[in-house]
Structure 1
Amino acid sequence: MAKQTPFFTSISRLYPHVRPILPRLFMGLACALLASVVALAIPQVLRVLINESLKPGGSSRAVWIASLVVLGLGIAEAGLVALRRQFVINPATTVETRMRVSLYGHLQDLTVSFHDRWGSGQLLSRAMTDLNFLRRWMAFGAIMLVVTTLTVVIGVAVMFSMSWQLALIFLTAAAPIMAYGFRFRARFSKATRRSQDLAGDLATTVEESVHGIRVLKAFGRGREALENFNEQAEELRRTEIAKARHLAVFSLVVTLLPELALGAGLVVGVVLAARGELSIGALVAFFATAAVIAAPVEFSGMLLAMAFTAKAALDRHFEVMDSVNTIASPESPRRPAVLKGALSFNHAGFAFEDAPDKPVLKDITLDIRPGETMALVGITGSGKSTLLQLVPRLYDVTQGSITIDGVDLRDFSVEELRSVVAVAFEDTTLFSSSVRDNVLLGAPGSGAPGDGAANNGSGGRSAEALEEVLAEALDVAQAHFAYSLPAGVDTLIGEEGLSLSGGQRQRIALARAIAAQPRVLVLDDPLSALDVHTEERVEARLREVLAGTTTLIVAHRPSTVALADRVALLEDGRIAAVGTHAGLLAENSHYRHIIASLDRGPRDLDSELSALEAEEISQ
């Protein structure tokens, strides 16, 4: 459970976001307050009507006048309520949108290590549910909480002006309500925060189950997944019931005590009226005013609940926004005078934040010449994938340095570094867009996916040039199957590309890395899901394309190793040997053991069928 902060400390952090819309919020507050004052004026009209017009010899004309005044006040109140909504709804939704966009942008900037620690459902609930709470509280809860407080204060002052004895009786209910309010605040705030955290965990479980539905079905674990989900949902239900119970007890207190006070006041008021110390009109007006105040008082429980929910939502929002991006561009970025692509690891080491005393990589020293292809070989868990992720600065080295053409990666601007370095991961991630947008994701001059730049050249390159890049990338990756999809390369491939086979997704990801036309290409076993024949064709085309590109590739197959000019052997987080494939086979027993155990190539039937179709088309 996160540390609880004072209510006003949390709410004050909202000020920079609402400052541009404060004038409209104040106008909405003024309209709401005027509506309450109008409602409080109606009992005063009734007092005058009873005391002056309904006495013997009174005029019926006065009754009609009073009725029209009450009608006018009612219409004015309704108009002011409608005006309040007009003033606050649009700016509140604008603030919500800006905060949501700001949160998304910050999530894009934060490091991979941050996302390793956070569940996606927690981030999703903060971006959607929590900000929705804040918008409703800004547009309604905050304003009505202020108006309710002022309405009660003004109403009590008016009641004192009519009868201080009855007003004191009414105020006797305030002390126990305030005392219980402090207890309610502590309990409800804690339950609200727990509820929102549990909702985030539940969202993470749903997302994981949907993404892993094939695994759950294949292993027949749907029932176990359901039971786990049911336990989480039940815990959330219990927390929501606890919230409702706290709110119900508070509502009981704030409703029952004023009603009891009014009952006692009615007895005293009748006695005062009988003695002539209070007019009948004043007595009626007093209880009419009390009725006007009673509604806000009863409503205060819900308004306080909204306030505490908004406070918890703000705390959760700023938990993310306060996270520091430790991988950022320097104030004065550098770049090589001539970008050749020489990649060097200089006594580089790395350890994860949660285990700084257990380094994954130790004293890595490795030089890769411009245009050279270096294969990285090692047993599972030796740190190969981690080493590759240091090159585009998905993680930063914790000791030593990595340079491109003599310039430390940390001296590059992050944007430029990631335009120089392209990556294809073994665990392929595609986006819910077209094949074209996925392949041209990092292509120079393509613009952002889905913005049309790839089609109209608005990103700086002509449509014809982008088509050439797309065609070459698909050809190198042997992803010709894309043209046979229902809408060709404009086919939407669905969430994470799961409508494609593993081999197809991997080839699209490889094409994406190639289309980026980088100086340094990092490939994390990009051919693992391909059949042998497709792999041979991909490797043949890669030799042509990678001729001028420095390439570091993790190899899990002898055929992939054969693609490289040299091989680096990684053992226990260290570079144990560097040489040619033939030389290491002759000199290093550990290397021979690894090569002998490497996968000889799985069969991706979908890939093979696609390859046969491509051959038939070419013939």
Structure 2
Amino acid sequence: MRSLLRLWPYVRPVRGTLALAAGVTVLASCLVLVIPLTLKWIVDGPVAARDPSGVWLGGLALLVLGFTEAALFGVRRVVVARPLARVEADMRAALYAHLQRLPVAFHDRWPSGQLLSRATTDLMLLRIFLAFPLTFLLVNSVTIVVGFAILLQQDVRLGLVLLAPVAPLVVLCSLFEHRYSRAARSAQDLIGDLTTLVEESVLGIRVVKGFGRHRSKQQAFTALAERLRGTELRKAALLGGLWAVIVVLPELAIGATLLLGVVRVGEGDLSAGTLVAFLSTALALRWPVESIGFLLAVTNDAASATDRYFEVMDTPAQADAPVPAARRAQPRRPDGLRLEGVTFRYPDAPPAAPPVLRGVDLHVRPGETMALVGGTGSGKTTLTALVPRLYEPTAGRITLDGRDSASMPREQLRALVAVAFEDPTLFSATAAENVLMGARGATEDDLLRALEVARAGFVHELPQGRRTQVGEQGLSLSGGQRQRLALARAIVGRPRFLVLDDPLSALDVHTEALVEAALREVLATTTALVVAHRPSTVLLADRVALLSRGRIAAVGTHQDLLHTNEEYAHLMSGPAPGTDGPEVP
């Protein structure tokens, strides 16, 4: 219940509708309990008096009660359908919005399949719980209490016999709930793992097929599916055992009541009508009692789903950290991009691991293009992710034209800074929509200009031109085409600051030369930080910064560093044709 009570903020707007549905259902269930009283009147009245007209009247009353009960249950279903669909939609929208606000570090840790299962399967379980078990736990409890009150009012001794199974059933349900809740949580986590495996296999189908790993993936899927199957069977066994006991114990009590009642009717101690009414009421209570197991099972599934949902929702979203007044007060001035004492350690890094970046100091002057060069693992990509605040520096600060980026709302910051990554991400949208995602309010002219600069004119030759759907992850395009669209997306908004993480690595030398020629025009009007591995990309820059072991080891022009820095010369060297050694360009 502690878990399920957390749903109240989402349920509160429809509480009136749920109360109406519960009231209608309670009324319908209470009508079921009126039927035995009508039977008692028929048996002790018209039947005992041999009055056929009275029997017909009683039969008509039973028919009206039955139709009214059915109509009320139908009304309940109609009443709750729309508002509960709204609750599910609101919770899903809240989850998606929260996922967008969570830091990149969160998404680095969480498998996408686990998030997907929370947004789909878990929310479906919660809607089912709100639509059925939530109402019927209340309705059946009221029905059982009212029913036993009627039974005890009719005959105390028979009522006490029928109440005998209550104590063992309470103990059994308590044990069941503890064991079933663990199995339910395990099953839901396995569904998330299975979803992740399927998603990865589909997105990586080229790698799977290219390396002939389909059998190993199939084996991994089968093993995980078997674990899920075993967990579901364990849940079914627990529910089956509970249901068997819940059915058997009340049936034994009803049988004992029948025997005792028949003996008392034979002795004249009890009227036949009272016995019929008593047994009819007991039989009417069979469903409310027998449904306890099913309702508990669905409720535990819903409680586990709620816990999983709020595991994500309880994760703090990115918030703009408070900045000292001295840092906030700095006026905007054409100062370019500055990194001052920037240190960064990944949140999930081992405590003994050194920081990825250690006291980085770097100044990219206004309108300047700075190339960032370094060996594999030196922290280049991490540094570029700090500028748009995809990650927050552990220490130090980053300023844009004199303003501390930590003091700027993220929306404003990301309107100033555009990014393009080495591994471009495209979405299931048109080529134009993927590019225009880079700037709000970008016009058709901006789109055409960006496509021209990025040498992405190939989109005009697609089946529907730039309105062609590029497919999930843009896998219908080549790697170079995806990089060019990502580059167009970065420059479509004419950003003040541009951060490019080796955006031309997938291009052939001829296309690279064309893109670089057009890119020079863009870089001439912006302040840019470009991660580079090729000498041709480095030559786009005014200056070069060498990042080594998490620090800026040297800054200068390409030619100066070639002659003064051995590490830089080694990074920029390559085997010359017909030789075994490196040649410095």
- By the TM > 0.5 criterion, same fold? yes
Partner of 1:437: 433
Whether the 8 Å contact between 2:333 and 2:402 is mirrored in structure 1 is no
Q: 1:235 aligns with which of 223, 227, 236?
A: 227
Per-residue CA distance 1:554-609 (angstroms, 9 max, x = gap): 10111001111100101111111010000000000000111115999xxxxxxxxx
Partner of 1:86: 78
Q: What does residue range 129-208 of structure 1 map to in structure 2 within 5 Å? A: 129-208=121-200
Shift of 1:185: 0.4
Output the CA distance in 2 between the equivalents of 1:469 and 1:31. Answer: 60
Partner of 1:385: 381
Deviates more, 1:322-331 or 1:106-115: 322-331
Shift of 1:326: 3.7
Partner of 2:480: 503
Whether the 8 Å contact between 1:428 and 1:506 is mirrored in structure 2 is yes
Aligned pair 1:578/2:548, yes or no? no
Shift of 1:343: 0.4
Output the CA distance in 2 between the equivalents of 1:328 and 1:488. Answer: 41
Partner of 1:616: none
Aligned pair 1:519/2:513, yes or no? no
Whether the 8 Å contact between 2:338 and 2:364 is mirrored in structure 1 is yes
Distance 1:344 1:598, change over 3 A: farther
Aligned pair 1:29/2:25, yes or no? no
Whether the 8 Å contact between 1:506 and 1:526 is mirrored in structure 2 is yes
Whether the 8 Å contact between 2:173 and 2:293 is mirrored in structure 1 is no
Shift of 1:354: 1.5
Aligned pair 1:295/2:279, yes or no? no
Shift of 1:337: 5.4
Amino acid at match of 2:494: Q
Partner of 1:122: 114
Output the CA distance in 2 between the equivalents of 1:562 and 1:182. Answer: 73
Partner of 1:413: 409
Output the CA distance in 1 between the equivalents of 2:480 and 2:387. Answer: 25
Fraction of identical pairs, as percent: 51
Q: Secondary structure at the match of 2:389?
A: coil
RMSD of aligned alpha carbons: 1.6
Partner of 1:456: none
Amino acid at match of 1:350: F
Number of equivalences:
573
Partner of 1:452: none
Output the CA distance in 2 between the equivalents of 1:299 and 1:70. Answer: 24
Amino acid at match of 1:50: V
Per-residue CA distance 1:499-546 (angstroms, 9 max, x = gap): 001110010000000102111101010000000011111111111111
Output the CA distance in 1 between the equivalents of 2:241 and 2:170. Answer: 14
Aligned pair 1:548/2:525, yes or no? yes
Partner of 1:494: 471
Whether the 8 Å contact between 2:335 and 2:402 is mirrored in structure 1 is no
Segments of 5+ residues of structure 2 without an aligned counterpart are 578-585
Distance 1:262 1:244, change over 3 A: same
Partner of 2:543: 566
Q: Secondary structure at the match of 2:494?
A: coil
Amino acid at match of 2:35: I
Distance 1:599 1:372, change over 3 A: farther
Shift of 1:170: 1.0
Partner of 2:47: 54
Shift of 1:153: 1.1
Shift of 1:442: 2.1
Whether the 8 Å contact between 1:373 and 1:551 is mirrored in structure 2 is yes
Distance 1:582 1:293, change over 3 A: same
Q: What does residue range 210-249 of structure 1 map to in structure 2 within 5 Å? A: 210-249=202-241
Amino acid at match of 1:147: V
Q: Secondary structure at the match of 2:562?
A: helix
Shift of 1:340: 4.1
Aligned pair 1:346/2:345, yes or no? no
Q: Secondary structure at the match of 2:573?
A: helix
Aligned pair 1:537/2:514, yes or no? yes
Per-residue CA distance 1:229-254 (angstroms, 9 max, x = gap): 11111111111111111100110111
Shift of 1:445: 1.2
Distance 1:350 1:391, change over 3 A: same
Q: Secondary structure at the match of 1:359?
A: coil
Output the CA distance in 1 between the equivalents of 2:362 and 2:80. Answer: 61
Whether the 8 Å contact between 2:104 and 2:391 is mirrored in structure 1 is yes
Whether the 8 Å contact between 2:44 and 2:273 is mirrored in structure 1 is yes
Per-residue CA distance 1:476-507 (angstroms, 9 max, x = gap): 11101000000000001111111001110010
Q: TM-score, normalised by structure 1?
A: 0.91
Segments of 5+ residues of structure 1 without an aligned counterpart are 1-7, 447-465, 601-619
Q: 1:373 aligns with which of 369, 374, 391?
A: 369
Output the CA distance in 2 between the equivalents of 1:167 and 1:107. Answer: 55
Partner of 1:609: none
Partner of 1:323: 315
Q: TM-score, normalised by structure 2?
A: 0.96
Distance 1:96 1:329, change over 3 A: farther
Output the CA distance in 1 between the equivalents of 2:57 and 2:576. Answer: 96
Q: Secondary structure at the match of 2:285?
A: helix
Partner of 2:87: 95
Distance 1:152 1:589, change over 3 A: same
Q: Secondary structure at the match of 1:570?
A: strand
Whether the 8 Å contact between 2:17 and 2:80 is mirrored in structure 1 is yes
